Structure 1
Amino acid sequence: MESKLTRTKETLAEKLDLPRDVILNIPKITITGNNEIIVENHKGVILFEEKEIRINSNVGLIAIYGSGFEILFMGGSTLTVSGKFKSVVYEGNE
């Protein structure tokens, strides 16, 4: 049932030219260089360490690896992190 609802939302977003991330409540990740990441539509920070961050979302866990992480902004469903990033990994729903 949920997949049919998701397909309907996707079709609606496409037909009305609406942003998919808003309609489907999926994360939007904006990476600026290798030193700033903005994650929108997240469901909370699971782990925050100097070399690893894990963020919960509707598509599962998102892991960010690197060093020197610092939270610049956290409000509502938006998170901005600075540091030196090596990789961003979608770990899925496990």
Structure 2
Amino acid sequence: MRWPKMGEQFKRKAAAMLELPGEVALNLPKVIVTGRIQVIVENHRGIVAYDRECVRLLVEAGEVAVSGRDLVLRSILPDEVIVEGEICAVRFL
């Protein structure tokens, strides 16, 4: 078994034993979708691309892409981004 995979398994088991949320222990993004009007992405690493049809955010395991119409970045904080507009899809790239 490869070392990185063993490290991830250890983190998962430790998080479960300590009852820690996965986004905290494993550095995963937390994505909250409210209907078709808002997406909140916590634990991001920055904005890769932004226009009125697509917002791409860098996360630990790749990217999160929010696509839709009339998208607006309502809030940009060091650990959270709020995207509003007519949301059509949220994808992990």
Shared fold (TM-score, shorter chain, > 0.5):
yes
1:74 matched to which residue of 2? 76
Correspondence 1:57-72 to 2 at 5 A? 57-72=59-74
- SS across alignment from 1:34: coil
Question: 4+ residue runs of structure 1 moved beyond 2 angstroms?
Answer: none
The one-letter code of the counterpart of 2:80 is: T
Q: Please show how residues 1-94 of structure 1 align to structure 2 within 5 Å.
A: 1-91=3-93
Shift of 1:65: 0.8
> Displacement of 1:62 after TM fit?
1.3
TM-score, normalization by structure 1:
0.92
Once the two structures are superposed, what CA deviation does each residue of 1:58-88 show, in whole Å capped at 9, x if it has no partner? 1211111101111111111110111000001
Unaligned runs of 5+ in 1: none
**SS in structure 1 of the partner of residue 69 of structure 2:** strand
Partner SS for 2:59: coil
Paired residues in the alignment total 91
CA distance in 2, matches of 1:59, 1:67: 26
Letter matched to residue 60 of structure 2: N
The unaligned stretches of length 5 or more in structure 2 are none
What percent identity do the matched residue pairs reach? 27
> How high is the TM-score relative to the length of structure 2?
0.93
